[in-house]
Amino acid sequence: MSVSMSSRPWLRSYPDGVPADVAIPNTPVADMLENAVKKWPARDALVFALAPGHHKVWTFTELWDEIERVSGGLSDLGMKHGDRIALYLPNCPQYIITYFAALRLGLTIVQISPLYLGDDLIFPIKDSGAKAIVTLDFLSHKLEEVWDRVPHPIVIVGRLKEEATFIPSLVVNGRLKKKGFDPSLPSKIPYTRFRDLRRSKSRPAKSKLDVSKDVAVFQYTGGTTGRPKAAMLTHRNLVANAVQSRAWFVGAADGDEKVLAVIPFFHVYGMTVAMNFPLFYGATLVVSPDRPEPNSLLKFMVTYHPTQLPGVPALYAAICNHPEAKNTDLRGVKICLSGSAPLPVEVWKKFEELTGANLIEGYGLSEASPATHANPVQGKKKIGSIGLPLPSTESRVVDPNDPSKEMPQGQEGELAIRGPQIMLGYWNRPEETANVLKNGWLITGDIAKVDEDGYAYIVDRKKDLILVGGFNVYPREVEEVLYQHPQIAEAAVIGVPHDTLGEVVKAFVVAKPGTHPTDQEIIDFVKSKIAHFKAPRSVEFRESLPKTLVGKVLRRELREGTGSSKTEVSVATTAGASVPPAVVAAR
């Protein structure tokens, strides 16, 4: 290996078959999919299911044909290279088709959560300057409500029933109404039907792109710590992360994998790990717009036999805690990547015992497209670690007060990352860009340490650090202990003010169904495991914890007192854990 081990000591821990560096093709994102179409034209690319066993299938050739048609339709509407187009969609065919059709034209995708309404919806539309927005009928009414407060983009409306020809329209609309949604088309704003784009006979030439400079995606981030800002991810960033991910997945077979895509595509993790990377290498995506409830998750796994299940800790915890999981054959899945939030050790162990799958914890962030680290798929895993830097990725731990100073091995500091997946910067935020990009290094805001083998451990977020009488307490350390308690399904801790100590620890706990732990019992349990000053002084019981759409606990809302059991709709009471929704949940 030509790369210096002294400069990248983690390479000594790389498993066989994983290169130190990967060649990044000078190729736009849509071209990567077109290459897959040429290799696997008749293979199933997309299986869209409203319920297990009820689905519609697109081959790679059929999917690409739709992408070309919609690309023509967008061009007919006047969309051109450099324009921005917002996707206000759950996981559905319209999302995948528009995503690649827009990138083929050189447009920039603006990611908007389908849970957004009001000010949350207004902000990315105005901030990005989106020229168009694509949505579904039952979401369009949220856009109507804010229409007088936003510049008027071109509105393109799809219908879920048009993608679900395997189920009568009345049944599809009935399901939406039962969930509290109005499946009618908008009546107060001008719009174009998505189906009209599909009928376009135009075939515009692919836009000529500078893959290192042309921005493919505005990925909004910062919602857990402050006002969102758009990370500008180039075509090269996204292609690089897909290629890096493929090199890491030793043992995966191009053209022969099936991915259950239940994490949302509008989140950077879902976009790369559940959509781009699999499609580029010929995998079949099984997609549903519904929230991944544990009951349906088990049925999807039994019906479609996925070989890969990218997810978040809450999803794996929900499967583990489901009473029927032990009686369900879940052993078709081979590889599961957990990201977007720390994976509790107890969940990790229990899921692998239950399924036989290889569950690996990784790490990433929106500014890095997102993946930067992962435990080896084949090789030594270290439970509790985020693993090793991916190929062509450099990592170091720096002094939080001076990022030019690297910390000695084993000491805690702020994680910094450099590689081809790192963003250009934040859209219209030069000062905030300068704060996180230092001489090509992304300063992540996460406190980490690295062991003698090069495995990294996230201690916690810099901003979540709790100072108890001058002593550092990292929430994750306390949460790991709480998850060991046999009656706790979910837990999060924050610091709260204290007259003499400055701060003390407060725990928020979701008890497992049928259990009734007391606050003192929990406090004593933690004290029996770690230093007493790290133990919570108080415990608040919740039906659920406030989370982002991919399962990351919103400690900011807990600190502000705005989070409640209504923030996150809990899964079936038999599950004992909340799974982040993939589609708009009734409020």
453-467 per-position pLDDT tens digit: 999 998 877 677 787
Mean pLDDT confidence for 386-414? 94
Range in 121-130, 419-428, 570-579 the model is least confident about: 570-579
- The pLDDT score that the predictor gives to residue 324 is 87
- The pLDDT score that the predictor gives to residue 569 is 21
pLDDT tens, 113-134?
898 888 889 999 999 999 999 9
Enter the tokens of residue 358: 């290889």
Q: Single out the residue of 352, 306, 122, 345 nearest to residue 227, CA to CA.
A: 122
The whole-angstrom separation of Cα 124 and Cα 424 is 18
Does residue 570 register a pLDDT over 50?
no
Q: Single out the residue of 315, 390, 388 nearest to residue 357, CA to CA.
A: 315
Q: How many other C-beta atoms are found inside a 10 Å radius of the C-beta of residue 514?
A: 9
Mean pLDDT of the chain: 88
- The pLDDT score that the predictor gives to residue 339 is 85
- The pLDDT score that the predictor gives to residue 202 is 92
308 — pLDDT class (breaks 50, 70, 90): very high
- The pLDDT score that the predictor gives to residue 99 is 98
pLDDT tens, 314-373?
789 888 888 888 888 888 899 999 987 778 888 898 999 999 999 999 999 999 999 999
90 — pLDDT class (breaks 50, 70, 90): very high
- The pLDDT score that the predictor gives to residue 580 is 35
- The pLDDT score that the predictor gives to residue 3 is 54
Mean pLDDT confidence for 259-275? 94
Mean pLDDT confidence for 424-432? 96
The whole-angstrom separation of Cα 154 and Cα 130 is 9
pLDDT tens, 533-561?
889 999 999 999 998 766 678 887 898 87
Percent of the chain at pLDDT exceeding 90: 67
Q: For residue 237, what is the DSSP state?
A: H
- The pLDDT score that the predictor gives to residue 550 is 64
In which element (H, E) is residue 140 found?
helix 137-145
Q: Single out the residue of 215, 547, 221 nearest to residue 365, CA to CA.
A: 221
- The pLDDT score that the predictor gives to residue 529 is 85
- The pLDDT score that the predictor gives to residue 585 is 25
Q: Is 566 exposed, middle or buried (0-12, 13-18, 19+ CB in 10 A)?
A: exposed
Scanning 290-383, the segments in alpha helix (DSSP H) are 294-304, 313-321, 345-355
Amino acid of residue 217 = V
Domain boundaries, the chain: 58-208, 465-541
Q: How far is CA 579 from CA 331, 363, 492, in A?
A: 21, 19, 15
- The pLDDT score that the predictor gives to residue 2 is 46
Does residue 577 register a pLDDT over 60?
no
**Which SS3 state, helix, strand or coil, does residue 149 take?**
helix
Does residue 573 register a pLDDT over 60?
no
The whole-angstrom separation of Cα 483 and Cα 213 is 44
576 — pLDDT class (breaks 50, 70, 90): very low
Enter the tokens of residue 562: 């705005």
- The pLDDT score that the predictor gives to residue 469 is 64
Start-to-end CA span in the chain (Å): 55
The per-residue b/e assignment along 471-485, b for 16 or more CB within 10 angstroms, e otherwise, is: eebbbbbbbbbbbeb
Mean pLDDT confidence for 25-34? 98
Does CATH number 3.30.300.30 belong to domain 465-541?
yes
Domain at 58-208: CATH architecture? 3-Layer(aba) Sandwich (3.40)
pLDDT tens, 45-70?
999 998 888 899 999 999 999 999 99
pLDDT tens, 174-233?
888 888 888 999 999 999 999 999 999 998 988 999 999 999 999 998 643 456 899 999
274 — pLDDT class (breaks 50, 70, 90): very high
Mean pLDDT confidence for 364-385? 94
Amino acid of residue 272 = T
Percent of the chain at pLDDT exceeding 70: 92
Scanning 464-548, the segments in alpha helix (DSSP H) are 475-484, 519-527
DSSP-derived pairing of the beta strands 358-364 and 371-374: antiparallel
